[in-house]
Amino acid sequence: MFIAEMTRRAALGAFAAAPVLLSRGALARRVMPGVGIRVDVTPLRESAGDPTAAWVARELPGALAQAMAERGGAGAPIAVRIDYVMLGPSSGGECGPTPDQMVGVVTIGGVDRPLRASARFYPSPVDQALVEQSNHDRVSQLVQAFAYWAVREG
């Protein structure tokens, strides 16, 4: 009985997840209903691929909602298209931190505004061993910076 129940749950889970897994563009355009936030990472997925595009698609809507709430509530609907994420070298340099950048377009009230957000990366020896985690942290910092400026510019 227990094994059959687990199998049924696994089958239902696989059935529910199938559209997401089979649709390559499922995370390319993410809409947060009721908040008026739309994020498109299609150009980013073409230029950088996954997991970078998946990280941005997953984190940017929440960061935008948080930035809007901190600014005083929901304003006009916001649409964001992320074109590029550029991570500087992981080794750093003699001059200090490495600049990372996120480039895209913010549309608020039907007006398109190009936006480039940057963050500084301070390399450490641990980053060399945990490259993917380090890159994810760097992308998360860029997402926060981009969301801050996207809402502020609107």
DSSP 27: T
Instruction: Please answer whether residues 59 and 39 qualify as being in contact, where contact means their C-beta atoms are separated by less than 8 angstroms.
Output: no
Would you say 38 and 29 are in contact if contact means Cβ atoms under 8 Å apart?
A: yes
Buried b (16+ CB within 10 A) or exposed e, 56-83: bbbbbbebbbebbeeeeeeeeebbbbbb
Give the DSSP letter of residue 41: -
75-114 pLDDT tens trace: 678 899 999 988 877 665 556 677 889 999 999 888 899 9
Decide if pLDDT at 115 tops 80: yes
Per-residue pLDDT, 125: 64
- pLDDT over threshold 60, residue 147: yes
By residue count, the chain amounts to: 154
- Strand partners of residue 81: 40, 105
The pLDDT value recorded for residue 87 is: 83
CATH class name, domain 27-153: alpha beta
24 falls in which pLDDT band (50, 70, 90)? very low
Token readout for 137 is 């942290």
pLDDT confidence tier of residue 34, bands split at 50, 70 and 90:
very low
Per-residue pLDDT at 21: 39
Q: Taking a C-beta distance cutoff of 8 angstroms, is the pair 44, 69 a contact?
A: no
Give ∠ CA 18-19-21 in degrees, rounded to 5.
Answer: 65
pTM: 0.70
Domain boundaries, the chain: 27-153
Residues 29-50, mean pLDDT to the nearest whole number: 76
Give the rounded percent of residues in the chain with a pLDDT score beyond 70: 65
Token readout for 107 is 């549309």
